[in-house]
Amino acid sequence: MEYSDIIITGGGAAGLMAAIGAGKAFSIAGKTDGSIAVIEKMPRPGRKIMITGKGRCNITNMKPWNEFSGHIHPKANPLKAAFHNLNTEALVGFFNGNGLETVLERGDRVFPASHLASDVVDTLVKAVSASGAQLHTGCEVSEIRNDDGIFHVFCRNGREFSCRKLIIATGGLSYPGTGSTGDGYLWARQFGHTISRCFPSLTAIVPEGYKISGEGAADIQGSAMQTVGNAGDRQGQDKRMTPLKGHIDRSVPLSETGSLLNGNQLKNVTLTLIIDGNTVQEEFGDLDFTDGGIEGPTGFKVSRKCVNALINGSKATVSIDLKPAVDKEALDARIRNLWQEIANDRRSQGKKYEDRFRILLGKLIPMSLVQGFRRCNPTIDHTNLASRLKNWKMDIRGFVGYERCVITAGGVSTGEIISKTLESKLQPGLYFAGEILDLDGDTGGYNLQTAFSTGMLAGESAARSLVSGK
């Protein structure tokens, strides 16, 4: 049995920062014999960090708390103490002080100057080593027990660890290939914690007819599973899984409509989410049609409410305003003028209506979008075009699940956590940090800041508790 004062399960953003925070607190207190261990199931730490921001890694967002907090769900108050303990300026200062240069980009987003996520991971790993913590990779935890105030951690490779303070930072369910498979929820439930319903967020939403349907897709649609059971034996077999209604695996092939839309990137559009006939969210910005469905900043922003509604059995629809800067009357007038110009152009003489209408569309939307837009709006002509450009409606059939979502919504109930320390109210000595908590943010650096802030506070709190003898 290998003993450490503090053990952190999970070597992602929150787990690595927790080790750094614990080492920092031990150093400040002059405790030179404090021991910290990070147990990571994957061969290398920080696997999910490597793919964030399309490999560029959006470290944080520089908005002050009163603005930052509006991007945290389901409520931001449980994050407040952790955020102020390690705010955005302090986080950037940490990376800069450890040799990583950063740049500020549009939307208050911070990236490494190299635009390489690997540099962020390398910086964190070096800081963990400097803190005195030991990093154990390739150790998948199979069981956790607490006996008389000592935690015992058993790994599938036969290694066994023990500690006085345990920090669970195993992430959520998103991108399971990086090691996030929901194990932490089972251990949390074992210690009596409530797990708020988990579902994918910041994910692609799939319009009706975007993917093929029928026999060819039947085996993989609706196959996303959600852990709802309890942790049990050392083999981790006591798990009950339920399907997520509305899940459409990203691997389901595109339909002809999806193929026509795929690859189009729309700038400065407005995306409105409508649930059961009621407008619930409106976002302005960029939108991407991908092999998954509707993504990009606006797509991701509405995905949380959209996915939750679909799981609940509600009907979801989106409306795309391709010309938000122009009202319908002005757009109508512009279309009439363009249509007249095309009619008067000698090059259009003798051309069929369809050909002239295609020319008109090409003057209003990207040519790459014309075919897909027309397929989705088969009854459009030059007389009703303004209405369709301002209100392109698409019913949403489903969503891409944990296999490619950015973040997991839901998790360990924050009402059962002491927000000033992130220690469990139910099990002394147990702490939580990162995505495992019922805290998730919008796209734009909010989730990594949340992971780093909660990791730092959990690590510092655990170490301070040991130093004080509590």
pLDDT, one tens digit per residue, over 400-412 is: 999 999 999 999 9
pLDDT reading at 443 higher than 70: yes
Q: How far apart are CA 1 and CA 149, in angstroms?
A: 16
CA dihedral of 288, 290, 292, 296, whole degrees rounded to 10: -20
Helix (H) or strand (E) holding 362: helix 353-362
| 3-class secondary structure, 418 | strand
CATH superfamily of 2-199+408-468: FAD/NAD(P)-binding domain (3.50.50.60)
What is the pTM (predicted TM-score) of this model?
0.93
Q: Residue 413: which residues within 8 A CB-CB, separation 6 or more?
A: 193, 194, 195, 196, 438
User: How high is the pLDDT of residue 226?
Assistant: 54
Q: Residue 284: which residues within 8 A CB-CB, separation 6 or more?
A: 268, 269, 270, 271, 298, 324
User: How high is the pLDDT of residue 214?
Assistant: 55
Helix (H) or strand (E) holding 112: strand 109-112
As a whole number of Å, the CA-based R_g of the chain is 25
Residue type, 442: D
Q: How far apart are CA 246 and CA 393, in angstroms?
A: 19
Helices (H), 205-288: 256-261
User: How high is the pLDDT of residue 132?
Assistant: 95
Q: Could you tell me which of 228, 317, 233 has the C-alpha nearest to residue 275?
A: 317
Burial annotation 212-226 (CB, 10 A radius, 16+ → b, else e): eeeeebeeebbbbbb
User: How high is the pLDDT of residue 268?
Assistant: 97
Q: Where in the chain is the domain with CATH 3.50.50.60?
A: 2-199+408-468
202 in Cβ contact with 48 (< 8 Å): no
pLDDT reading at 231 higher than 70: no
User: How high is the pLDDT of residue 470?
Assistant: 73
Helix, strand, coil proportions of the chain in percent (round to 5)? 35, 25, 35
Scanning the structure block, which residue is given the tokens 């994918």? 200
| CA angle, 173 then 178 then 180, to 5° | 25
Mean per-residue pLDDT, 184-210: 97
CB atoms within 10 A of CB 128: 25
Q: How far apart are CA 127 and CA 113, in angstroms?
A: 19
pLDDT category of residue 242 using cuts at 50, 70 and 90:
low
Q: What is the pLDDT of residues 293-311, one digit of tens each?
A: 999 999 999 999 999 999 9
Q: What is the pLDDT of residues 255-296, one digit of tens each?
A: 999 999 999 999 999 999 999 999 999 999 999 999 999 999
Q: Could you tell me which of 193, 203, 222 has the C-alpha nearest to residue 425?
A: 193
Q: How far apart are CA 466 and CA 456, in angstroms?
A: 16
Label residue 114 exposed, middle or buried (CB < 10 Å: 0-12, 13-18, 19+): middle
Scanning the structure block, which residue is given the tokens 């730092």? 456
58 in Cβ contact with 52 (< 8 Å): yes
Q: How far is CA 302 from the centre of its chain?
A: 12
| 3-class secondary structure, 293 | coil
Mean per-residue pLDDT, 12-25: 98
